[in-house]
Amino acid sequence: MPGLIRGVARTAVVAGTATAVSNRVSRRQQGRWAAQQRYEAPSGGPAYAAEPPAPPAAPDMTSKIEQLKQLGELKNQGVLTEAEFEEQKRALLG
């Protein structure tokens, strides 16, 4: 049974990390596209820069803190080893 719990916990951590990374990549790509469109002048009209887009939202520290708490609990329960904990922490904060 402990192996099953460890597997489920590891899957949850990996899924949470993957979601965070995916969201970050999406925001970065949207920012690049917005910057590219801002500097392209529409054809046939006056060349002017569009209103700059709002800065991307700051990473949600609340969710990162919650994920760190969950990682700490899993480590305290013995589900994660110290090395696994450090690796997941680096990936989350990286």
pLDDT in tens, 55-93: 655 557 788 888 888 888 888 988 888 898 888 888 888
Higher pLDDT, 11 or 46: 11
Higher pLDDT, 18 or 84: 84
Burial 16-37 (b: 16+ CB within 10 A, else e): bbeebeeeeeeeeeeeeeeeee
How many Å separate Cα 77 from the centre of its chain? Answer: 25
Give pTM, 2 decimals: 0.38
**62: amino acid identity, one letter:** T
Higher pLDDT, 94 or 27: 27
Coil, helix or strand for 47? coil
Name residues whose C-beta falls within 8 Å of residue 58's C-beta, 6 or more positions apart in sequence: none
Please write the tens of the pLDDT for every residue from 27-61.
888 888 888 877 765 555 555 555 666 665 555 77
* CA dihedral sign of residues 74, 77, 82, 83: negative
